[in-house]
Amino acid sequence: MATSDSPGQGEVVLSFVDVAKTYPDGTTALEHVDLEVRRGDFVTVVGPSGCGKSTLLRIASGLEPHTAGTSTVDSRHLGYVFQDATLLPWRTVAQNVELVAELSGRPKNDRKAAAKDAIDLVGLTGFEKHLPRQLSGGMRMRVSLARSLTLAPDLFLFDEPFGALDEITRERLNDELIRLFSTQRFGALFITHSVSEAVYLSTEVVVMSGRPGRVVQTFDVPFGYPRSPDLRFTPEFAALSGEVSRALREGHS
Amino acid sequence: MSLTDSPAEAAPDEIVAPGPPAARPRRRIRLRSWLPPLLVFVALVALWYAITYGVLDEQRRFLMPPPDLVVTDALFDRTTLERMLVALGRTARVAFVGLAIAIVIGMAWAVAMSQARWVERSLFPYAVALQCIPILALVPLIGFWFDFGFLSRTIVCVLIALFPIVSNTLFGLQSVDKGQRDLFALHGASRWTTLRKLEFPAAMPAIFAGLRIAAGLSVIGAIVGDLFFKQGDPGLGILIDNYRARLQSPELFLAIIIASLFGIAVFTFFGWLANRVVGRWYDTSKAG
Ligand SMILES: Nc1ncnc2c1ncn2[C@@H]1O[C@H](COP(=O)(O)OP(=O)(O)OP(=O)(O)O)[C@@H](O)[C@H]1O
Ligand SMILES: [Mg+2]
């Protein structure tokens, strides 16, 4: 597998050219969207609520057809972390983590091992036998993350995975995600409402307009990995966040 | 109840829901939940006595014999009790066989409807019709066609118990979270896999709620069938009717009490079973 250390060099895993989506009821969710994610890119999309961010991911994953343009996803394994953890409440943590490997027909021993590794990676060792309802929101998200990690995805789609969590948990999970990203180097397309989360995580921030969603502006994020939580308090970070926020405001009006 | 094996590993950064509560407070809670119904029971018995001796005069006292008479004249009478237990056995057999058949047919019916819209559109009206037609009106016809034995009684029972199983199973299968469906679709799960690993387990709480209702109905169905046919080996229904006709009120009351206790036992059993099967992850008290 070709792994690259700097963004913009890995093979292209997702490419959108002039993609548009109009739902059957006539709602136009997306218009003229161009987007590219390579392995080793962490692309974050910020945009106002209802601008079609989830739609974007659903198209990328093939769950929803687009109505114009071309969308190419060149990834053998796709990770998708939904807005909710979508765990099966009757399955234990370990069984939940095994689920997608199970659905992809991987042999039992293989997926057990993969699940164990993934559980270790997200720091849930010791909770294998817990049921989802015994976990906090943050832990559920980790299970969801681990579930996708078992596939060793080339492309990871995240739909506001930490949106429902408190600030502290969110920041901690951000750091863990960065750690995972710097070791696994998948391509990531990450949706968020939070400008600071976007800048903190990504190699590239894409700002979308209000509905119908279009790409208003794209920002390269110059900070290297691994990133320290203190990055958030540097002037460079503040300056870039300011620019992203401004683009977001302008795109909204 | 949330009986779970929480590992004793070092507590993590985030908050974990508490494991099972300690035994002592639970016992106290159990007592507290038993006491009020018990008091109501005592009050009801007192009311019963009050009516027997306060409201009814001597000649009409047979309408409501005092509880102690029910115990001494009926419950402690070997032959009476024996006859009732045999009748109970027959009624129970009809109820259980009827319920089992209703479960098989009802679930198959619901699964078929959940698989395709057109099947649902064609078959659901009949499930509703089943609920609406007065099955009691069909009972003579069933007896006419299938004679007045075990078979007809079972058929009555199935017809009465079927609807809650069909509707609850269907509802359960269809109420699966959309995100979870997406997850299965995303990873290429077949329809069969989705049914087996997602829809069916997710529907379990609803299915059990339906089973509980159906179980209660199957008891009613078994007794009603008996009561209407008035032929063949007597079950509880025929006994009740006979005692009524002969004004044997202590026996009549005992038969009614036995029938009621049987219904309650069946209902309780299915509640317990639901709790065993899905109580680990689902709060069954919510499903009624
Ligand atoms: N299945 C659907 N049918 C019709 N319209 C839809 C459908 N799904 C989404 N929409 C509409 O498309 C638009 C974009 O929806 P989408 O969920 O992609 O927004 P979003 O950017 O993810 O919003 P949020 O930030 O609140 O999650 C919304 O106006 C929504 O109402
Ligand atoms: Mg969304």
Read off the pLDDT band of B16 (50, 70, 90).
very low
Q: Which of these, A74, A27, A31, lies nearest to A56 by C-alpha position?
A: A31
Any idea which fold A1-77+153-253 has? Rossmann fold (3.40.50)
pTM over 0.80: yes
pLDDT score, position B285: 64
Give the Å distance between the CA of A52 and the centre of ligand 2.
Answer: 7
pLDDT score, position B9: 37
Q: Residue B226 and residue B257: Cα distance in Å, rounded? A: 17
Read off the pLDDT band of A8 (50, 70, 90).
low
pLDDT score, position A2: 41
A237-249: pLDDT as tens digits: 999 999 999 998 8
Specify the DSSP class assigned to residue A213: B
Is residue B230's pLDDT more than 90? no
> Is B1 an interface residue toward A (CB < 8 Å)?
no
Give the Å distance between the CA of A211 and the centre of ligand 1.
Answer: 9
Q: Residue A51 and residue A72: Cα distance in Å, rounded? A: 21
Is residue B158's pLDDT more than 70? yes
Do A185 and A234 form a contact (C-beta atoms < 8 A)? no
**Pairing relation of β-strands A215-220 and A204-208?**
antiparallel
Most confident of A47-51, A126-130, B52-56, B231-235: A126-130
Is residue B11's pLDDT more than 50? no
CB atoms within 10 A of CB B211: 25
pLDDT score, position B77: 84
Distance from the first to the final alpha carbon of chain A? 44
Q: ipTM of this model?
A: 0.88
How is residue B179 written in tokens?
């995100």
Distance from the first to the final alpha carbon of chain B? 14
Name residue A168's amino acid.
I
CB contact under 8 A, B6 and A130: yes
Is residue B232's pLDDT more than 60? yes
Nearest beta carbon to residue B9 from set A100, A126, A136: A126
Q: What percent of chain A has pLDDT over 90?
A: 47
pLDDT score, position B90: 92
Q: What percent of chain A has pLDDT over 70?
A: 96
Counting one residue from A and one from B, how many pairs have CB atoms under 8 Å apart? 87
**3 state SS of B81:** helix
CB contact under 8 A, B14 and A129: no
Q: List b or e across A188-225, with b for residues whose CB sees 16 or more CB atoms inside 10 angstroms.
A: bbbbbebbbbbbbbbbbbbbbbbbbbbbbbebebeeeb
CB contact under 8 A, A134 and B5: no
CB contact under 8 A, A130 and B182: no
pLDDT score, position B286: 58
B45-99: pLDDT as tens digits: 999 999 988 888 888 888 888 888 888 887 888 888 899 999 999 999 999 999 9
A132-191: pLDDT as tens digits: 999 988 899 999 999 998 988 889 999 998 888 888 888 888 998 898 888 888 899 999
Nearest beta carbon to residue B179 from set A86, A134, A139: A86
Please report, for chain A, the start and end positions of each structural domain, with discontinuous segments joined by +. Answer: 1-77+153-253, 87-152
Do A221 and A203 form a contact (C-beta atoms < 8 A)? yes
Q: Which of these, A235, A165, A158, lies nearest to A198 by C-alpha position?
A: A158
Q: Residue B148 and residue B151: Cα distance in Å, rounded? A: 8
SS (H, E, C) B275-286: HHHHCCCCCHHH
> Is A130 an interface residue toward B (CB < 8 Å)?
yes
Q: Could you give phi then psi for residue A157, rounded to 5 degrees?
A: -105, 130
Q: Residue A53 and residue A61: Cα distance in Å, rounded? A: 13
Nearest beta carbon to residue A131 from set B185, B193, B280: B280
CB contact under 8 A, A103 and B193: yes
Is residue B100's pLDDT more than 80? yes
Q: What is the mean pLDDT of chain B?
A: 85
Name residues 159-178 of chain A within 8 A of B (Cβ): 169, 172
pLDDT score, position A228: 87
The closest-lying atom of ligand 1 relative to the alpha carbon of residue A52 is 18
